[in-house]
Structure 1
Amino acid sequence: MSETHTTVAPGAPVFPPGRYGRRREPGRRRPVLRALLVAVLLAALGLVAARLYLQYGHPDYRAEMITYTGITDSRVVVDFRVTLPPGGSATCLLRARSHDGAEVGHAEVTVTARPGERQVTARQEVPTTARPFIGEVLRCRPAA
């Protein structure tokens, strides 16, 4: 029969001294390593966010839908306004959708602001393959 000490909690394993090496202290942490990993992770996320912003986000190029008219079985006319840098130009993607939401036509149009102006109002006909229900401006980007 083995000897039981009164300081050992019931159910806790009893290891022979020196057999399994030294046990770790329960409160020992590595805060420097953890802080370094968090800093690297935040830097990586910042780089990804910056790259996506440069690729997809252009706050200087903002499209505003005015109206869509002239709906027939083969077209819709879209009126829209684009805010862009003074004297700049943008390529805008227009889309026509049917009543069930399917895309039935799209068109790309390049608009250019006069020198010193920041807004351009444009009208573009979007050819369609079926009767459209709505015309819309999806996005505007800097002209290539």
Structure 2
Amino acid sequence: MSETHATVTPGTPVFPPGRYGRRREPGRRRPLLLALTVAVLLGVLGLAAAKLYTQYGDPEYQGEMISYTGITDSRVVVDFRVTVPPGGSATCRLRARSHDGAQVGLVETTVTAGSGQRHVRARQEVPTSARPFIGEVLRCRPAG
């Protein structure tokens, strides 16, 4: 017996008999499982962000460029200021770049604040392999 408009409820699609197999019932939604999955995912991402922040984003160690002078074919002198915890030390990475943006010099230096001081002003020569155009402070991190 084939389906007719009298045997089918309005709005239900009509398919030829014997084709396309058996129609499945609409699936049951699981909002609790979705909410739990999202909560676990957010927790894992939060832990990863916290770990990366403590590893790379310590705000107590801030390097600030003051000036670069003494540019010759083989060096540049970088003046910079570092904020550290009171009486602490920091290792700063300084680099020199040529006019086309290529890195021509790189040096790491350690600076130490006096007792109770949070700011250290330092001057460091960066040896270069070609004539530099600029000297800059890349980053500062805890010494050690």
- When the two structures are superposed, what TM-score results if normalisation uses the length of structure 1? 0.88
- Give SS of 1:86's match: coil
CA distance in 2, matches of 1:48, 1:78: 35
CA distance in 1, matches of 2:63, 2:12: 72
- Is the 2:97–2:133 contact (alpha carbons within 8 Å) kept by the matching residues of 1? yes
Written as runs of structure 1 = structure 2, the 5 A alignment for 1:120-131 is: 120-131=120-131
- Give SS of 1:51's match: helix
What amino acid sits opposite 1:24 in the alignment? E
CA distance in 2, matches of 1:63, 1:20: 69
CA distance in 1, matches of 2:17, 2:52: 56
Q: Which sections of structure 1, spanning at least 5 residues, go unmatched?
A: none
CA distance in 1, matches of 2:90, 2:60: 10
What amino acid sits opposite 1:12 in the alignment? V
Sort the Cα spacing of 1:3 and 1:141 in 2 relative to 1 into closer, same or farther, 3 A: closer
- Is the 2:64–2:81 contact (alpha carbons within 8 Å) kept by the matching residues of 1? yes
Which position in structure 2 is the counterpart of 1:24? 25
CA displacement at 1:50 relative to structure 2: 1.0
RMSD (Å), alpha carbons? 2.2
Q: Percent identity?
A: 70
CA displacement at 1:73 relative to structure 2: 0.3
State whether structure 2 residue 135 is matched by structure 1 residue 135: yes
CA displacement at 1:39 relative to structure 2: 0.4
CA distance in 1, matches of 2:17, 2:132: 80
Map Cα deviations across residues 13-32 of structure 1 (whole Å, 9 max, x no partner).
3678xx948x4346x31111
- Give SS of 1:132's match: coil
Written as runs of structure 1 = structure 2, the 5 A alignment for 1:96-135 is: 96-135=96-135
- When the two structures are superposed, what TM-score results if normalisation uses the length of structure 2? 0.88
Which position in structure 1 is the counterpart of 2:55? 55
CA distance in 1, matches of 2:11, 2:83: 74
Q: Which sections of structure 2, spanning at least 5 residues, go unmatched?
A: none
CA distance in 2, matches of 1:112, 1:15: 85
Map Cα deviations across residues 94-132 of structure 1 (whole Å, 9 max, x no partner).
000000000000110000001100000000000000000
What amino acid sits opposite 1:37 in the alignment? T
